[in-house]
């Protein structure tokens, strides 16, 4: 373990990416204050982090939409940097309940920015998404690729939040921001003590795959095999969550070591390699030596045919690169599902 560095406030700390990032930050020598309101996570996730690290964590139950409660967190803890994960993320639900998404994702975010300004806390790292690129004209996408108009309120909250950060960093002398645009985070910690905890029927591919393998779902539906791609299914950039967590550490290093070249910077966080839905299924079956029942069904509205990252900027500027082997990622995802369901 390296020498003590700054303290980082992690909002949504009990979530899928929040837990993995907390582990990576502590392992890199940072201190972390985790906050979460458990709206889409469980206290057991914090216990998982504690088991991995062999120590108690500083955790406060707090709804970031509640500025009074959040102010208390700012008053009680010193930190230079905030990583803001706390947000809703289900695309379909955001179409049905846009206000819920705008309210939660933007109010919580503005509360954080407001208090950072008030308390003079300089650095914020925002969880953005490849969804901001939409159906891009040129692939892979670079950070300069023009954003397409959002096709869901969820996607719109990511675009708006990026713009708010750009404006705040331009206006407020003491504020520095990084937006990380995640591609498709998958997998779990190799310890199988933390991972994704979807509530109800999963929307995302890999949790549906692992739940099908565990027998919780009868059959996986592959949404469309008539896309203009090599095997007809969509192409995505599946990035291991442990690699993704390390990208956060690299970004926090850059901010806390005063290395930012601009006050607001954006990085793609992916592997740079496209993979199809069918490839992912086949690799999952092989890596875990099992068979998955699946059927081809119609396209899912809103899906883009293909998106993957040009990672040159993140590789060079952050000095970060995705390293995990996809087979290991798929084994870790299955190990986590088995841990959850008590499957031997």
Among 45, 52, 91, 179, binds ligand UD1 (CB under 6 A): 91
Among 39, 203, 225, 315, binds ligand UD1 (CB under 6 A): 203
Shortest spacing between CB 102 and ligand UD1, in angstroms: 16
Query: Would you say 310 and 272 are in contact if contact means Cβ atoms under 8 Å apart?
Result: yes
Which 296-325 positions form the footprint of ligand UD1 (CB under 6 A)? 300, 302-303
**Exposure string (b/e) for 25-36, b if CB count within 10 Å is 16 or more?**
bbebebbbbbbb
Shortest spacing between CB 335 and ligand UD1, in angstroms: 19
Question: What are the phi and psi torsion angles at 335 (to 5°)?
Answer: -60, -40
The window from 26-34, 55-63, 162-170, 200-208 that contacts ligand UD1 (CB under 6 A) reads: 200-208
Among 85, 101, 208, 284, binds ligand UD1 (CB under 6 A): 208
> Which is catalytic among the residues 16, 30, 88, 154?
154
Residue 184: name the closest of 24, 329, 300 by CA: 329
Residue 233: name the closest of 280, 288, 286, 188 by CA: 280
The window from 69-77, 161-169, 201-209, 331-339 that contacts ligand UD1 (CB under 6 A) reads: 201-209
**Shorter beta-carbon distance to ligand UD1: residue 7 or 229:** 229
Which 173-192 positions form the footprint of ligand UD1 (CB under 6 A)? 184
**Exposure string (b/e) for 126-155, b if CB count within 10 Å is 16 or more?**
bbbbbbbbbebeebbbbbebebbebbbbbb
Q: Sign (positive/negative) of CA torsion 44, 46, 47, 53?
A: positive
Residue 124 belongs to what H/E stretch?
Answer: strand 123-129
Mask for 218-237, x = binds ligand UD1 (CB under 6 A): --xxxx----------x-x-
**Shorter beta-carbon distance to ligand UD1: residue 80 or 145:** 145
When computed from its CA atoms, the radius of gyration of the chain, rounded to whole angstroms, is: 19
Which 261-280 positions form the footprint of ligand UD1 (CB under 6 A)? 277
**Shorter beta-carbon distance to ligand UD1: residue 37 or 233:** 233
Beta strand 123-129 pairing with 81-84: parallel
Shortest spacing between CB 241 and ligand UD1, in angstroms: 12
**Shorter beta-carbon distance to ligand UD1: residue 78 or 231:** 231
The yes-or-no answer on residue 154 being catalytic is yes
Residue 18: name the closest of 74, 106, 115, 40 by CA: 40
Query: Would you say 61 and 41 are in contact if contact means Cβ atoms under 8 Å apart?
Result: no
Shortest spacing between CB 30 and ligand UD1, in angstroms: 25
Which 33-72 positions form the footprint of ligand UD1 (CB under 6 A)? none
Cα separation of 165 and 248, whole Å?
A: 17
Shortest spacing between CB 173 and ligand UD1, in angstroms: 32
Q: Residues with catalytic annotation?
A: 154
Interface ranges with ligand UD1 (CB under 6 A): 89, 91, 129, 131, 155, 184, 203-205, 208, 220-223, 234, 236, 277, 300, 302-303
């Amino acid at each position: 373990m390296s020498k003590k560095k700054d303290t980082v406030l992690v909002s949504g700390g009990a979530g899928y990416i929040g837990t993995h990032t907390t582990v990576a930050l502590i392992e890199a020598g940072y201190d972390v204050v985790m906050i979460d309101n458990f709206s889409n996570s469980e206290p057991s996730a914090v216990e998982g982090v504690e088991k991995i690290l062999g120590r108690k964590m500083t955790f406060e139950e707090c709804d970031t939409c509640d500025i009074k409660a959040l102010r208390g967190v700012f008053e009680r803890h010193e930190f230079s940097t905030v990583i803001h994960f706390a947000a809703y993320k289900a695309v379909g639900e955001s179409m049905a309940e846009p206000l819920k998404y705008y309210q939660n994702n933007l109010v919580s975010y503005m509360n954080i920015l407001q208090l950072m300004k008030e308390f003079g806390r300089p650095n914020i790292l925002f969880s953005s998404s490849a969804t901001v690129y939409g159906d891009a004209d040129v692939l892979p996408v670079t950070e300069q690729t023009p954003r397409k108009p959002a096709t869901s309120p969820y996607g719109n909250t990511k675009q708006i939040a990026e713009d708010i950060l750009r404006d705040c960093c331009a206006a407020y002398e003491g504020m520095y921001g990084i937006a990380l645009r995640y591609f498709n985070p998958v997998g779990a910690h190799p310890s199988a003590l933390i991972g994704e905890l979807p509530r109800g029927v999963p929307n995302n591919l890999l949790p549906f795959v692992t739940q099908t393998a565990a027998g919780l779902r009868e059959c996986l539906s592959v949404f469309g095999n008539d896309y203009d791609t090599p095997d007809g299914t969509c192409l995505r950039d599946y990035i291991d969550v442990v690699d993704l967590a390390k990208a956060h550490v690299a970004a926090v290093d850059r901010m806390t070591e005063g290395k930012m070249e601009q006050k607001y910077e954006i990085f793609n966080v992916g592997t740079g390699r496209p993979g199809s839905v069918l490839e992912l299924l086949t690799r999952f079956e092989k890596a875990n030596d099992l068979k998955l029942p699946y059927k081809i069904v119609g396209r899912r509205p809103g899906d883009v045919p293909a998106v993957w990252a040009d990672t040159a900027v993140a590789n060079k500027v952050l000095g970060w690169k995705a390293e995990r082997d996809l087979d290991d990622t798929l084994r870790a995802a299955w190990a986590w599902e088995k841990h959850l369901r008590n499957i031997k």
